[in-house]
């Protein structure tokens, strides 16, 4: 075989192949042109392991290089000064690092942010330390800090107006490592709702929803509000602004994976917010699940289970198989009862709440979801955010998409009526309308770097990294950052040696012409999650025949990707050797067929099987066994030691003394497994 042909089959460079093979015991010269078939087959068989080993070495070298750079920075004592809030781009400039490297480091820590997005000092400090920098808060940052403190004070002052406090539904946030099952848990809880039994349980995508569950003690039906933000992006932003939106946290830890660095970060966030929390140990139905190991790892971080004498309730669940979800809801109600003094609100005052989702809808304009924390929000109320009037409530929808006229404490509602989309974490205080000024729409749109701005993170695909895989290229656009992060997190679980997903473009907002051009250049499929193409983009895709898929449920999108990747896999052919027959006589010769007689020397031969024709130990041709007889009787199989006649179809001319190797082939469709 030519070396270039072998390199083509292995999807690698010929020069690289000749450099690599001697390192793995193949005695082939650097200038070799041909390679014998036996050695070629050995190389093909071992290539998967060679490639994996090379990838590990490359990753190790990269990590060592980065580690050396970090150590050099630490030794030099390099320190950067940053304010309370900083954009990713400015943060990268201060460290004199590429903005893409900083964004990747953020992604490793579960934060998907574009270069124009803000991160708080705590987040920047963690990332900076990991990159080898000392991070200190800017002394002159009092103005920014005062602004952030003011956000928290607005909420506190508004809540202090409450007089007639009554019990309200607890607000729960689900947090944990990126692939430990947060989204699936929220989805399963949504389906578990004892009242909402609509088809599929699919709810309106507004960033939060309510579930009704029966109290095990009183038997009364009680509501629980869940902040539905995969990756808890909104929660992190709100925390940085001093806003307290959640009453209880659920910490999700996978039973087969244990405590990860992001889990530790979440533990710190929960403790900083002083939230009561429940630990759910998810994926207990997996073979590799080890619940005791998870509990031990948590106890090492001072989270002691109740059964070990601690104060943290732990529930072992499987969100996928709906195991113990009822127990989890019971425990959440119990924790809410234990903290009932803090889970109260006055429904009679003007509404006050926090923006938990915000985006611009093509048909409705600026839309935001508000979690009402006190008071009652009504149709026609002025929308006062940061002491500015953003518009008035023209319409409200609950999480099922049904219109509502009012929303009380702990109720999330999607509001139509904003002239400009507010930012996630902003405080809405209807009671301060009298002293509020009208918003300057033009100026606000210019300043805004939040939901209204469509931004794209550049491709993270690297042909060299993929090592010749068949790649499925995608351009993904979503309506909100939480969904985009959840989709990318789910796709990152696809691990396969032969196929993979390359995200060549991603961002928020409707699909535009730039996205279409990017898809055309990369031969990619455009995916819209809760977003649609603009008329120009739609026409462009139709003319250029660019595939487009629209989804509203993440699992449908992931299943489609999985199915498409499986179609790209080569069908696995399993060969079953059946037996050998020695040819003793030639009875008839036709064009493309022969009738011969012989003895089955070992195994068996079977009708419909494949045949290899061997002469003097070498394979000279192939064909198919279409019929076999013993005596004058047609049979399906002939056992070892039996003489028989058979009809052979093929171009090869068989002679007396030839050996026919009979075998069957099984075509096995291969599956993609999420790791």
Give CA 145 to chain center in angstroms.
34
Burial of 419 (0-12, 13-18, 19+ CB in 10 A): middle
Domain 572-668: give its CATH architecture: Beta Barrel (2.40)
Give the rounded distance of the alpha carbon of 391 from its chain centre: 36
Residue 535, CB-side half-sphere exposure with 13 Å CA sphere: 1
The enclosing H or E element of 182 equals: helix 182-192
Domains 347-447 and 572-668 share a fold: yes
Pick the CATH number of 347-447 from 2.60.120.10, 2.40.30.10, 3.30.830.10, 3.30.470.20: 2.40.30.10
pLDDT at 98: 80
- Annotated domain spans of the chain: 3-75, 78-142, 161-345, 347-447, 456-568, 572-668
pLDDT (0 to 100) of residue 116: 67
Q: Are residues 557 and 536 in contact, defined by beta-carbon separation less than 8 angstroms?
A: no
539: left (phi over 0), alpha (psi -120 to 50) or beta: alpha
Strand partners of residue 382 = 392
Sign (positive or negative) of CA dihedral 665, 667, 668, 672: positive
Q: Is the pTM of this model over 0.85?
A: no
CATH number of 456-568: 3.40.50.10050
Residues contacting 25, CB < 8 A, separation 6+: none
pLDDT at 451: 33
The span from the CA of 156 to the CA of 357, in Å, is 21
Pairwise CA distance, residues 256 & 318, whole Å: 12
pLDDT in tens, 150-201: 555 666 666 666 677 888 999 998 887 767 777 788 888 877 655 444 333 3
Q: How far apart are CA 354 and CA 266, in angstroms?
A: 21
Which residues in the chain land under pLDDT 50? 141-148, 195-204, 230-235, 237-243, 446-467, 675
**pLDDT (0 to 100) of residue 672:** 67
Report the topology of domain 161-345. Rossmann fold (3.40.50)
Rounding to the nearest 10 degrees, give the CA dihedral for residues 235, 239, 242, 243. Answer: 20
Percentage helix, strand, coil, to 5, in the chain? 35, 35, 35
In degrees, rounded to 5, the angle at the alpha carbon of residue 17 between the alpha carbons of residues 14 and 20 is 155
**Which residue's entry shows tokens 């027959």?**
581
- One-letter-per-residue 3-state SS of 346-377: ECCCECEEEEEEEEEECCCEEEEEEEEEECEE
**What crossing angle do the helices spanning 233-240 and 261-273 adopt, rounded to 10°?**
40
- What pLDDT score was predicted for residue 110? 62
Contacts of 175 (CB under 8 A, 6+ apart): 182, 232, 235, 249, 250, 251, 252, 266, 269, 270
């Amino acid at each position: 075989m030519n070396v270039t042909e072998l390199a083509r089959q292995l999807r690698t460079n010929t020069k690289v192949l000749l450099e690599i093979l001697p390192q793995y015991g193949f005695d082939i010269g650097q200038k070799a042109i041909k390679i014998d078939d036996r050695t070629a087959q050995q190389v093909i068989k071992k290539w998967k392991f060679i490639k994996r080993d090379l990838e590990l070495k490359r990753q190790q070298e990269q990590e060592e290089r980065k580690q050396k750079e970090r150590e050099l920075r630490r030794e030099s004592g390099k320190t950067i000064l940053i304010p309370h809030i900083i954009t990713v781009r400015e943060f990268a400039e201060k460290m004199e690092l590429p903005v893409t490297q900083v964004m990747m480091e953020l992604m490793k820590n579960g934060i998907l942010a574009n270069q124009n997005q803000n991160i708080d000092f705590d987040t920047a400090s963690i990332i900076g330390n990991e990159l080898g920098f000392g991070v200190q808060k800017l002394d002159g940052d009092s103005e920014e800090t005062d602004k952030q403190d003011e956000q928290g004070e607005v909420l506190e002052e508004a809540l202090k107006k409450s007089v007639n406090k009554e019990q309200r539904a607890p607000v729960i946030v689900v947090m944990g490592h990126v692939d430990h099952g947060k989204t699936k848990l929220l989805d399963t809880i949504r389906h578990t709702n004892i009242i909402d039994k609509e088809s599929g349980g699919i709810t309106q995508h507004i960033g939060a929803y309510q579930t009704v569950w029966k109290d095990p003690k009183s038997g009364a039906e009680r509501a629980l509000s869940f902040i539905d933000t995969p990756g808890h992006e909104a929660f992190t932003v709100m925390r940085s602004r001093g806003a307290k939106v959640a009453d209880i946290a659920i910490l999700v830890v996978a039973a087969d994976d244990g405590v990860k660095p992001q889990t530790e970060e979440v533990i710190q966030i929960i403790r900083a917010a002083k939230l009561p929390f429940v630990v759910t140990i998810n994926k207990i139905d997996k073979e590799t699940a080890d619940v005791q190991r998870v509990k031990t790892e948590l106890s090492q971080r001072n989270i002691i289970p109740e059964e070990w004498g601690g104060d943290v309730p732990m529930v072992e669940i499987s969100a996928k198989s709906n195991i113990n979800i009822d127990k989890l809801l019971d425990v959440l109600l119990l924790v809410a009862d234990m903290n009932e003094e803090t889970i109260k609100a006055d429904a009679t005052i003007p509404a006050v709440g926090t923006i938990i989702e915000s985006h611009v809808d093509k048909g409705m304009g600026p839309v935001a979801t508000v979690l009402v924390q006190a008071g009652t929000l009504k149709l026609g109320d002025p929308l006062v955010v940061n002491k500015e009037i953003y518009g008035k409530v023209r319409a409200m929808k609950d999480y099922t998409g049904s219109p509502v006229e009012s929303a009380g404490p702990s109720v999330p509602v999607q509001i139509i009526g904003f002239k400009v989309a507010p930012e996630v974490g902003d405080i809405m205080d209807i009671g301060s309308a009298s002293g509020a000024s009208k918003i300057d729409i033009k100026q606000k749109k210019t300043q805004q770097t939040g939901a209204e701005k469509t931004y794209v993170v550049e491709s993270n695909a690297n042909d060299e990294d993929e090592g010749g895989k068949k790649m499925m290229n995608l351009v993904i656009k979503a309506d909100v950052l939480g969904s985009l992060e959840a989709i990318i997190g789910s796709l990152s679980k696809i691990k396969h040696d032969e196929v993979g997903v390359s995200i060549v473009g991603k961002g928020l907002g409707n699909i535009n012409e730039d996205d279409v051009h990017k898809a055309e250049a990369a031969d990619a499929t455009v995916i819209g999650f809760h977003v649609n193409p603009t008329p120009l983009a739609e026409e462009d895709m139709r003319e250029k025949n660019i595939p487009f898929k629209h989804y509203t449920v993440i699992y449908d999108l992931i299943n489609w990707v999985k199915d498409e990747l499986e179609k790209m896999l080569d069908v696995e052919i399993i060969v079953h050797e059946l037996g050998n027959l020695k040819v003793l006589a030639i009875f008839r010769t036709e064009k493309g067929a022969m009738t011969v007689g012989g003895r089955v020397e070992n195994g068996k031969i079977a009708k419909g099987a494949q045949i290899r024709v061997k002469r003097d130990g070498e394979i000279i041709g192939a064909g198919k066994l279409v019929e076999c007889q013993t005596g004058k009787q047609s049979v399906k199989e002939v056992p070892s030691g039996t003489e028989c006649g058979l009809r052979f179809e093929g171009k090869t001319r068989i002679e007396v003394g030839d050996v026919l190797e009979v075998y069957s082939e099984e075509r096995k469709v291969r599956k993609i497994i999420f790791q």
